[in-house]
Every structure is written in structure tokens, then in C-alpha cells.
Chains A and B, each alone.
Chain A
Amino acid sequence: MTEITLTIDDQSITVSQGTTILRAAQQLGYAIPTICYHSHFTAPSLCRICVVEVEKSRVLVQACSRAAENGMVVRTNSPRVQLARKLILEMLHSAVDLSAAPEIRAYASQYGADPDRYGENIERREIPLYDDNPFYLREYSKCIMCWRCIQACGEDVQWTFAIHRADRSFETHVATFEHVPIPESTCVYCGNCVQACPTGALMPKRAAWMEQGLDLKQLARVSNLDRREQR
């Protein structure tokens, strides 16, 4: 396998061809922030939080999917990179409920992002809670469109294709085909999307109820377990 050498933050590293900038930086011990990227799934290069500055490149490049090149000179934390990350985090905060996304909120304080920068009069993504199946809740006002769930449902894991991206632009959101309830979709309830969700937009029902402080008896009632009489 061909090996290439690049420089990341003034350190030289040799990696095999095809290695992403992110992987190369990780080998050097640099922590590049990621949100949509997950090592288990195809990198969708959507959130841009992992952008880095590459010499001779006009725009910032996404570290998660861009392959390292021979002679590349990369800066993972330059002022331009920091500003971009701050802006991304502020825009996410302006539109999405990130109350169940501790990692993203930690990034916000790390990069000095002001969650209220765009004020209260800005349009937010407000989509009603879907409680349509026995196992998990879908609360897309918490969704940052990272696509992990769609990939888990599709070609990265399950090959079920129960969900996809609906609508366009700001209105884009995750949905079942024709917006049918989950039980009418092809969903097999594997929950691999739920495990992959970084913002709590997908939540196992029991976890959501326990967060609301329900006790054992109430849990049995809401989970339908005590409705089924012994035959």
C-alpha cells in the first residue's frame, strides 16, 4: 500500500493512502470535534464541525471524509477554523433544541459559541413529537440532520430503508416514506438508529419516561405491561 506524508499542526506523519485527515490527526493525538461523523457509519460530511484549514485550499475542508494527500499541510485549530466552528455551533443552537446533546453543548462552551447570538425572533425547527410505536419516540425538533439514523436504517447496517430525508432546505427533516406512522413503515425496531442519535431526537421510550421521573408502577402502566391479562 502506498504511503504518504503530510504535516498536521507542524508535526509530520506518514499514513497509508486513503487515510482521512481526521484519522491521521487522531493518530497524532489531536482531538478534532465531530458531530455527524461516527466511526461506525459512512461519513456524510454534513455538519462541517470537523473542518480544518489546508494550505492552498480556498475553502476549509472536512477532516472526516477528505483523504490525506502527500505534502498536505493541515491546521486543525487555526483562528479561521475556530471561527467556523463557533459559527456552526451558534447556528445549530439557533434552530434546534440541543437540551439532550451534552457533547454539542460542550463544544459550544469550548469554542465560545453564544447560543443566543441570533436572538429569539429567529425561526426554529419545531416539529411535533411522534409517539407512534411501542419502543421509541421521535422528537425531530432536537434533530440536527446528521443522517446517522438514515444510514443505520439503510446501507450501513440494517438495509431496511424505513426512513429518509423529506422536504427541502430549512424544512428538510427525517421522515418515513409518505409520513406513515412507524408501525406502517418497514421499520424492524432494531433501534440501531436510536443508539446512533447524538442529540436525543430518537429516544427509547423507557429512558424518556424515567427522565420524567415515573416510578415502577407508572412505568408498567405506560409501557402497557399491566394491560395484558393472564389467560
Chain B
Amino acid sequence: MLSQAKAVTTTCPFCGVGCRLEFYGKGNQISHVTTPYDDPVSRGNLCVKGRYGWDFVYHPDRVITPLIRKTPQSPRRRTRAKREDWREASWDEALELVTHRFAGVIEKYGPDATAVFCCAKATNEDNYALQKLFRAVIGTNNIDHCTRLCHASSVVALQMAVGTSAMSNTASEIYDCDVAIVTGSNTAESHPIIALQFKDAIKHRSTQLIVADPRRVEMVNYAALWLQQRPGTDVPLFSAMANVIIQENLYNKKFVADRTENFETFAKAMEDFTPEMAERITGVPAEKIIRAARMYATAKNGAIYWALGIPEHTHGTENALSLVHLALLTGHVGRSGTGLNPLRGQNNVQGASDAGAMPWHYPGYQPSDDPKVVEKFRARWGRTPPVGRGLTTTEIANAWGTGGVKAQYVMGENPLMSEPNLRHAHHAIEHLEFLVCQDIFINETGRYADVILPSASFAEKDGTFTNTDRRVQRVHKLFEPIGQARADWEIVSQIAVRLEKKLGHENTAYWGYEHPSEIWDEMRQLVPAFAGITYERLETERLQWPVPSIDHPGTPFLFAETFPRGRGKFFPLVYQKSAEEPDAEYPFALTTGRVLYHWHGGTLTRHSNLDFAAPEAFVEINPADAPRVPCEYGSPVRVSSRRGSVVLRAHVTEKAAPGIVFVPFHYAEAAANTLTIDAVDPQAKIPEYKVCAVKIEPATLQELLDAEPLGAQIN
């Protein structure tokens, strides 16, 4: 319960920075939020989302009782529900229906006809419980979550080159850094508190910033050097920097000799990437590439930070590798203020991945095809978990349409906003036999569900989130769940018990959890990196995994002595074009991303006062391009790709480069992913959200006002 006298502290539910929030109020009413000035993450500062964005908790549209469709849904005739299509149900009825339908699908088609989307907004414990339900009770590895859509290829690249998959250093180590490369990251809007630390280090210390981004994002204002590459040309850009570093003998020979392998082959491959060749492809002057290479290579401590502009490409793995190479060449790893730092998006995307919400990793990235690992989990769960690879998010969405997946469980995610080529995804979801969504609102995906299970928001449950720098942080319950809502781990456990019974293997795995700390304890016994983290320690400590033992202080930066795979590995790269490039018919390159005031699919922030700060979808277009449409600032325009079209307002701004337009992906009525292409990176299966070809035409104000979410027109 809240009071004005003593704050309840918890962790911010929005981005991966993971600021500590102190909530004040009365009973179950939050009055305001502060953050401690001595907090190692926030350093006393918040952004608008953490400060004011939590009022979605009180939105009248919150689902607070279980809901079941009045008309039973059947494959291929599944419809998008309106408000009146639902009826309230008891928990018993809803859980029984979910169990019954899942058991039916499993018995008829086998466990691999089911799939689950875990949730990067939910706690580690929620995700662990959910993947355990699917592995230990149902028996499928078709388990994934939105990490597939954000940093999947960063993870693959880091696994290949160094053998791990997280930020190597702590974000606030920027203060120890001389030269930081920030690329594919609109840090000031997407990780605002990390951006504040960047600004502070740049303005008040001697840190220099190199921004590589096609858009004139806010951090460009603070940069010593801005490399404005064309979208999708990251490999030539960063490989040309590697070329310069090798040619000018600026690489760290001792580090390369002692800690890396495959350098010779790599160096040979880099010979092609001259700065002049890169200039032709990327549009960045060769002289700037050379300067950037020298700055980074000669820095005492150089760090690389990147966000989704790097991985979200059909060659995202290569993009990330081209960055990893720079760090391996210069030895800018293993010290404070250096490192390879993919800035994670969601508050708990790191944690959900750690907790095993992945199709080929059990909790703690333990491979699901290693017999020793399988045996370890069998011993704990009482049944042999499924061996081998399951389907990824993108493959699952495809399998809806082809009949491979018949029953889908969605916890807190919104694939019908976040999948690429949404029109296709909308058609595919209609083929499902059964869909259950567990959420606090009925979002775009929930509208197609058979059952909605009302879950407790972050404010109404206990647990842990793991932030972008691997810091496991407590989530404290502020007040009891609103209405009949229940914590996700509780709902999952209740389904597990019922399903085990129905499938005839009652009481196999343990499901008697009474508090999330018990789930955490189970997880830390199975995951060596978490072994030393306990709820007790988290009350006073802010531990960064790996924490192998109870007296271990945590690990602010990785790779000090060695890489998890032994030696860091170089990979020869070649330049590959994006799947779809602008042409005469679709002359603009579209790139997508976020705005400060909204969160991803908008399930939360569009139910918050934040929506009043950024109520409308828009497309950013360069002033030089505006006459080609033609449009002015604020004109309604239609943006179309080969896959669909949306109507929104034009923002004519220098922020967009000539020929490149930007649409944020938060707005259901103008969903950017209607336009994006579903081509994926072959290794990481991540879609190419950051480049596709579009055309822009004037639209009428009426068309703008009539804009509705996909599928709404059909009903």
C-alpha cells in the first residue's frame, strides 16, 4: 500500500535502462514518482515515461475479469472482436477452457502445434514459469518473445564472435570512455537516461562521441563526428573503419595475437572495404570514415553502443559483427569505459532471454540440444524437456497461416503491431484454432483471441527485471491487483497444474509457488550466472550477472581476462544489399523507430496521458523531398509499400535525410509495420524493419480522420 510518508521502490516498467522509481500516494492511488539521486542507474533523473507514464494502470479499459468470446471462434473464420463480443467469465471457467483447448490441440496434433510468445515486459519469474509450462508440461520449444524482433542478430553475432549475448559493460561507464561510437540508436528518445549520462560525459568530461545514423537524431547535436550512412550500409561503413585501422597499423597487435583468432582471413577480406568504396555505398565522405577510425583506434578507452538500427536488417548479424570486429581489432573490451554494448529495448528483454524464453536456449542460454543440459532440466522438472530447436517469433507467425501452429499463447505481447508485413500477419492469425492472450488491455492481438486472462500490472506484483547492463533489480508490489487480475506467474502455474492433470502426468514438475522468490530460487539453482543472486541481497544490492556465488559482488564489465568462447573470432564479411531498395515506383527508403512519449505497440502508453503529448502518427520527410510529394508540415499523406499503406501527417524536418523517411511504429491506426517487409536475417530470423521502399502521396484530411487499425474495417 502506498503512503506519502514512505516510498515504495520498484523498477521502471518501460525501457531497458531500468531506473529505480520511488512511488508515493495513498492506498492504491499513486500521487507521484521520484528517483533517488544516489541510484547507480538513474542518477536522480527520469524521463517522461517513468515520471508520468504509469497512469495506464488506472485506465478504464483495463481488463479486470477474465473474458471469453460470446461466439466461439473457428479456424479461418476468426474475427476481430469488438467490445460487445466479449462476456465476463470466472477464473475457473476461463482456465478450464484454456486447458481444455490446449490439451485438445496437443492430443490431436502433438505439442509442436502449440506455441507461446513470452513477454519482455513481464518479470523474470513470469517468463521462467511460462517457458517451463511449455517445456516441462506441454513439451515444445516453440517459445520466443520480442527479442527476436529487436536484438536477435546482435545476440547471434556476439555468440559467434565472443560467446555471450549481453551488454559487456555498464552504461554509466561512459564517464571512463574517451571515444564512444553510438550507432543505430536514437538514444535521447529510446534510452533517455543513458543519453543524459552521455551528454554529461561529453559536456562536463572529455568523452567524444561519434554518431553513425541516417537520421539527424538528437545525439548528433553532441557528436564530434556524425557519419550519416544510408540505411542498410553499416557493414561497408564499419568495415572501412576496420580497413583504415589495419592499413594505418592502428590495431592492437598484442590483443589480436593473444585474444583473437582468424585475423589473417579477416584482414584479407577487409582489403576490399577501402574508405572510397565505402563512400560510394554509404554516402559518408571517406575522410570522415578515416577520422572516425583514427579517433576510435587511438582512444585510451573506446566503447561501442548500438541499438536496433544495427540488428534489424536481413544482414543484421553481419552488421553487428562489423562492430564486434572494431572492438577486437583495438582491444577496446574488458575494461571500464570500453566494450560492446547493445542497448536493450524493453525493461526486461535481457531477463526474458536469460529466463529461457528462447526457442533454442533453456534458461541461462543453456543449449536445448546438449544432452547434459537436457538431463539437468529433466532432473529438476521431472520430464524430459523438448530437445533441439523450436520456432522463432517470425516462424511462429508464419506457421499460423500454414497450419503448423494451431494453438497460440500470448503473454503481454502484441504481434499484430510488432510483426512486419502486418496485413499478412492479420490473415495468418485468423487460421488459429485457439488463441489466448494474457494482458492488462485488449490490444490488437487480443482482439482476435478466444480468451483474455487479466494479468496484474507491474505495480501489482513482485518479481525482478534485468536491465540492459545485466542488473537484476527488484519489482515491488505497490498495491493489490485491480479487480480480479492476477500476477502472470500465478496464472501460468494454475494452468500448468490443470494441464498436467488433463495430459495425465499430474504432479511432475513443481508448480506450488506461493511467491516469485521461490521461482527465482529454482532459476538460480539451474543457471550458474544467477547462483549468487537472492531476493534478500537484491533488497540492498544492485547485482549485475554473472554472480556465481553468494559472496560474489557482481560483474560490471565482462571479458577482462578472456572471452566465454576462449578467443574472440573475426569473420570475413561481404556487403549485401537490403532486401528491398528504393526504385522508380517506390522512391523513398522507409526506416521505423520510436518516439520519446510512446512505447512500442502502444498497449501501455496509448492508454496513458503520454498519448496527449504525442497523439498522432507522422512521417518525417526532408524539406528537399517535400515538393516531390507534394506536402507541407502537417499535411495528410498516404505512405504505401508493396505490402500496404497508411495515412498520417507529414512532418517536414531536417531530422530526415533526403530520400529517407521515418515512421514511428506505435500507432495502430497508422501501423508502420503494415509497410515493413517480412524478409529476415537468415541466421537470427530478425525482420528487416529498418529498410523498405515506399512511395508517398497527398491524402485528404477525411482519409486521415477515418484512419482505423488494420482489420477494423472488416467488421
Of all chain A residues, the one with the shortest Cβ separation from B442 is: A230
Measured in the bound complex, the distance between the Cα atoms of B608 and A157 in whole Å is 25
The reply on A206 being an interface residue by CB < 8 A is: yes
Q: Which of A141-192 contact B (CB under 8 A)?
A: 155, 157-159, 183, 188-192
Interface: B45 (CB within 8 A): yes
Q: How far is the CB of B445 from chain A (nearest CB, A)?
A: 14
A134 to B669, CA, bound (A): 22
Q: Indicate if B535 sits at the interface (CB-CB under 8 A).
A: no
Q: Of B24, B45, B60, B611, which contacts A192 at CB under 8 A?
A: B45
Whole-angstrom distance between the Cβ of B274 and the nearest chain A Cβ? 37
User: Is B52 within 8 A of A231, CB to CB?
Assistant: no
Asked if B51 is at the interface (CB within 8 A of a chain A CB), the reply is yes
In angstroms, how far is the closest chain B Cβ from the Cβ of A149?
13
CB of B387 within 8 Å of the partner chain: no
B51 touches A191 (CB 8 A): yes
Residue of B nearest to A209 (CB): B31
Verify A134–B613 contact, CB threshold 8 A: yes
Contact at B196–A216, with CB atoms within 8 Å?
A: no
Q: How far is the CA of A231 from the CA of B47 in the complex (A)?
A: 28
Instruction: List residues of chain A with CB within 8 A of the CB of B708.
Output: 231
Which residues of A (193-231) have their CB < 8 Å from a CB of B?
A: 194-195, 204, 206-207, 210-211, 216, 219-220, 223-226, 228, 230-231
Q: Quote the shortest CB–CB distance from A26 to chain B (angstroms).
A: 15
CB closest chain-A residue, reference B47: A190
Map CB proximity to A onto B29-65 as digits: 1 under 8 Å, 0 otherwise.
1111111010000001111100110010011110000
Contacts of A183 in B (CB 8 A): 613
Task: Tell whether, in the assembled complex, residue B613 and residue A189 are in contact, meaning their CB atoms are under 8 Å apart.
Answer: yes
A:25-43 near B, CB below 8 Å: 39-40
Residue A118, interface by CB 8 Å: no
B577 at the interface (CB under 8 A from A): no
Are the CB atoms of B609 and A210 closer together than 8 Å?
A: no
B31:A40 contact, CB within 8 angstroms: no
Q: Is the CB of A188 within 8 A of B58?
A: no
In the complex, how many angstroms separate the beta carbon of B58 from the nearest chain A beta carbon? 6
Contact of B32 among A157, A159, A206, A225 (CB under 8 A): A206
In whole Å, how far is B547's beta carbon from the nearest beta carbon of chain A?
A: 30
Chain A residues whose CB sits within 8 angstroms of the CB of B610 once the complex forms:
134
Chain B residues lying within 8 Å of A135, measured Cβ to Cβ, are 48, 51-52, 609, 613
Closest chain A residue to B712 by CB distance? A231
Contact A189 to B48, CB < 8 A, known contacts A157-B196, A207-B31? yes
Q: Is B623 an interface residue, CB under 8 A from the partner?
A: no
Known: A231-B668, A231-B709. A134 touches B192 (CB 8 A): no
- A206–B613 Cα gap in the complex (Å)? 16
Which residues of chain B in 191-208 are interfacial with respect to chain A, using CB atoms and an 8 Å cutoff? 192, 196, 199-200, 203
Tell me if B83 is interfacial: C-beta within 8 Å of chain A. Answer: yes
Interface residue? B109 (CB, 8 A): no
**Pair B52/A204 contact, Cβ less than 8 Å:** yes
For B597, give the chain A residue with the smallest CB separation. A189
A159 to B45, CA, bound (A): 13
In the bound assembly, the distance between CA atoms of A134 and B610 in angstroms comes to: 8
B633 at the interface (CB under 8 A from A): no
B60 touches A226 (CB 8 A): yes
Is A195 within 8 A of B60, CB to CB? no
A137 shortest CB reach to chain B, Å: 12
Q: In the complex, are the beta carbons of A206 and B31 less than 8 A apart?
A: yes
B513 adjacent to chain A (CB < 8 Å) = no
Closest to B28 in A: A216
Q: Is the CB of A207 within 8 A of B32?
A: yes
Contact code string A31-64 (vs B, CB < 8 Å = 1, else 0): 0000000011000000000000000000000000
Instruction: Indicate with 1 or 0, residue by residue over B687-711, a CB within 8 angstroms of chain A CB atoms.
Output: 0000000000000000000001100
Q: Is the interface of B mostly helix, strand, loop or mixed?
A: mixed
Q: Which residues of B contact A39 (CB under 8 A)?
A: 37
**A102 CB → nearest B CB, Å:** 12
- Summed over the interface, the residue pairs from A and B with CB atoms below 8 Å come to a total of 101
Q: Are A216 and B58 in contact (CB under 8 A)?
A: yes
CA of A216 to CA of B479, assembled, Å: 14
Verify B611–A228 contact, CB threshold 8 A: yes
Residues A216 and B29 in contact, CB atoms below 8 Å apart: yes
Measured in the bound complex, the distance between the Cα atoms of B596 and A188 in whole Å is 8
Is A155 touching B203 in the complex (CB atoms < 8 A)? Answer: yes
CA distance A121 to B709 in the complex (A): 61
Is B34 in contact with A195, judged by CB distance below 8 angstroms?
Answer: yes
Nearest chain B CB to A87 CB, angstrom units: 30
Q: How far is the CB of B222 from chain A (nearest CB, A)?
A: 8
| Complex: A41 Cα to B512 Cα, angstroms | 50
Contacts of B30 in A (CB 8 A): 206
Contact partners of B29 in chain A: CB under 8 A: 210, 216, 219
Query: Which B589-626 residues have a C-beta within 8 angstroms of A?
Result: 596-597, 606-613
The residue in B37, B51, B596, B712 that gathers the most chain A C-beta atoms within 10 A of its C-beta is B51
| CB <8 Å contact, A220 and B58 | yes
Determine whether the beta carbon of A223 is less than 8 Å from that of B55: yes
Whether A190 pairs with B31 at a CB distance below 8 angstroms is no
The answer to the question of B26 belonging to the interface, with a C-beta cut-off of 8 Å to chain A, is yes
Alpha-carbon separation in the docked complex, A39 to B613 (Å): 31
CA distance A12 to B542 in the complex (A): 37
Shortest Cβ distance from A192 into B: residue: B45
Contact A225 B613 (CB under 8 A): no
Residues of B within 8 A of A188 (CB): 47-48, 192, 596
Residues of A within 8 A of B32 (CB): 194, 204, 206-207
Q: In the complex the two chains form, what is the Cα distance from A191 to B597 in whole Å?
A: 13
Q: A135-B609, A189-B48, A231-B712 are in contact. Are A225 and B31 (CB under 8 A)?
A: no
Within the complex, what minimum Cβ distance (angstroms) separates B430 from chain A?
A: 19
Contact: A225 with B47, CB < 8 Å? no
The residues in A between 115 and 145 inclusive whose CB is less than 8 angstroms from any CB of B are: 134-135
Nearest CB on A from B69, distance (A):
16
B67-96 residues with Cβ-Cβ distance < 8 A to A are: 83
Chain B residues with CB under 8 Å of A216's CB are 29, 58
Contacts of B31 in A (CB 8 A): 204, 206-207, 210-211
B46→A191 contact, CB < 8 A: yes
B61 to chain A: which residues have CB within 8 Å?
Answer: 230
Q: Which of B1-44 contact A (CB under 8 A)?
A: 24-26, 29-35, 37, 44
The answer on a CB contact under 8 Å between B196 and A219 is: no
- Collect the chain A residues with CB atoms within 8 Å of residue B51's CB: 135, 189-191, 194-195, 204
Question: Which among A159, A190, A194, A204 is the interface contact of B203 at CB below 8 angstroms?
Answer: A159
Q: How far, in Å, is B56 (CB) from chain A's closest CB?
A: 8
Inter-chain contacts of A225 with B (CB < 8 A): 55, 58-60, 607-609
Do residues A191 and B52 form an inter-chain contact, with CB atoms below 8 A?
yes
Residues of B within 8 A of A189 (CB): 48, 51-52, 597, 613
Residue pair B668, A134 in contact (C-beta under 8 Å): no
B669, A231: Cβ atoms under 8 Å?
yes
Q: A219–B46 Cα gap in the complex (Å)?
A: 23
With A207-B32, A210-B31, A231-B709 as contacts: A157 and B45 at CB distance below 8 Å = yes
Question: What 0/1 pattern do residues 8 to 36 of A give for CB contact below 8 A with B?
Answer: 00000000000000000000000000000
Nearest residue, chain A, Cβ from B188: A188
| B192 nearest in chain A by CB position | A190
B residues less than 8 Å from A231 (CB atoms): 668-669, 708-709, 712
Return chain A residues, CB-CB under 8 Å to B60. Answer: 220, 225-226
Q: How far is the CB of B648 from chain A (nearest CB, A)?
A: 16
**Given A134-B613, A223-B55, A231-B668: A210 and B48 within 8 A (CB)?**
no
B42 CB, nearest partner CB in chain A, Å: 10
Residue in B25, B33, B37, B196 whose beta carbon sits within 8 Å of that of A158 in the complex: B196
Sample of 8 A–B contacts (CB below 8 Å): A39-B37, A134-B610, A135-B52, A190-B192, A206-B55, A225-B60, A225-B609, A231-B669
Given A188-B192, A195-B46, A204-B31, 19 other A-B residues pairs in contact with their CB atoms under 8 A:
A134-B52, A134-B609, A135-B48, A135-B52, A188-B47, A189-B597, A190-B45, A195-B34, A195-B44, A206-B30, A210-B25, A210-B26, A210-B31, A223-B58, A224-B612, A225-B59, A228-B607, A230-B442, A231-B709
Q: Which 8 pairs from chain A and chain B are nearest by CB?
A: A191-B51, A189-B48, A207-B31, A204-B32, A207-B32, A134-B612, A134-B609, A210-B31
